Amino acid sequence: MGRRDDGFWRDLCALLRSLPFAGRVPGVRRRAAGYLAGFDRVVAPIVAAAVPEPGDRARAAAVLRATSVKLGFLVAGYAAMARVPVRPDLLVLTGAITRVYDDLFDHFGGPELDDRLAELFRGGAFEPRGDMERLFLGLYREVERRLDRSPDAPHDVVFAALAAVHEHQAWSRGQADPEIGSAEIARITEGKGGHGMVVLLSLATPPMSRVEADLVYELGAILQRLDDYQDAEPDAATGVATAATRGEATLDDIRAALRGLAPRLRAHYGSERPLYAVLHATLWMSFARRRCPNLGRVLRGFRTPLAVLLRRAGSLADGKTR
């Protein structure tokens, strides 16, 4: 067998070991359709206002729509575990802004963008340069509008965590250096994923306690490694060093980390099952996107809820959007 086949079977064995996570995710089609409708109601008008060229606009909407739906299930799984309500408007907004922010860093801006975004996150001004920066600013201002950003507001923790995410994102530019050490990669990965998950879940659900934030941080650090696993080939092709590209983080390592976190979630929330049912499905989808890449090409063009869930969301840089 070739190396690719070895990876396929190794990862498939890891998925079989994850079967204890499995559970029912109720109403997948209905909820996915609801997230799609929420996106079209809340996010699509912002995309239309920011991206004037029809082809670029359609491409951006498709990428953000897929990301919003996928992250919507993760947020809903957490909310079911924590027994808290979800704000549907912020759910789709956070998914979209997460995708735009990541792609701004990876494809549209250099180090000078870091300082400009940091100023925005401190409450300062931001003058967009190009469609993608204009789109990000539109989404960000809409989040601010729907939240109270006064210093004593409960959601101010979101903006503190966002500043920490941004700091780690800036450091992640060092992952283009082939000499970067594995310990530095691990530190960046943990901070990006951990603080990012605190932002994501804090935006769409009620304020969380310090204990909850610590658990969510650890969950996010693990899921960042899963994201890197899924993107190992494109990252390697562009010279981005991650634990996955170096063979230092396997799907079974990620499964084991989730298993290790489960007892602490259970102790705090009573049961981790609602979240882990979603995470089990996420493991399978990440495996399919990496090991069965033709699946995405087959599903391209379909806008049904399940097709949106299964295909790779893609990047805003894949089209001509500036």
Return the CATH number at 306: 1.10.600
Q: Is residue 313 part of a domain?
A: yes
Average pLDDT over residues 123-139: 93
**Measured between alpha carbons, how far is 184 from 179 in angstroms, rounded to an integer?**
11
Average pLDDT over residues 274-279: 97
Average pLDDT over residues 133-138: 96
Indicate if the alpha-carbon torsion angle 165, 218, 234, 54 is positive or negative.
negative
Place of tokens 């379909």: 302
**Measured between alpha carbons, how far is 141 from 125 in angstroms, rounded to an integer?**
11
Average pLDDT over residues 136-145: 93
Dump pLDDT digits (tens) for 144-190: 888 865 555 555 677 788 889 999 999 999 999 999 999 999 999 99
Place of tokens 């049961």: 271
Does residue 319 carry a pLDDT above 90?
Answer: no
**Measured between alpha carbons, how far is 107 from 102 in angstroms, rounded to an integer?**
9
Dump pLDDT digits (tens) for 218-270: 999 999 999 999 999 999 999 999 999 999 999 999 999 999 999 999 999 99
Q: Is residue 44 part of a domain?
A: yes
Q: Is residue 15 part of a domain?
A: no
Q: Are 262 and 272 in contact (CB under 8 A)?
A: yes
Place of tokens 């004593």: 152
Our count of domains for the chain comes to 1
Q: Is residue 58 part of a domain?
A: yes
Q: Is residue 49 part of a domain?
A: yes
Q: Is residue 112 part of a domain?
A: yes
Q: How far is CA 280 from CA 124, 240, 285, in A?
A: 40, 27, 9
Q: Are 65 and 307 in contact (CB under 8 A)?
A: no
Q: Is residue 130 part of a domain?
A: yes
Average pLDDT over residues 102-107: 86
Find the domain containing 210 and state its range: 27-318
**Measured between alpha carbons, how far is 53 from 58 in angstroms, rounded to an integer?**
9
Does residue 276 carry a pLDDT above 60?
Answer: yes
DSSP-derived 3-state class of residue 147 = coil
Q: Is residue 13 part of a domain?
A: no
The pLDDT, as a whole number, for residue 320 is 46
Dump pLDDT digits (tens) for 190-230: 999 999 999 999 988 988 899 999 999 999 999 999 999 99
Which uninterrupted H or E stretch holds 69? Answer: helix 54-82
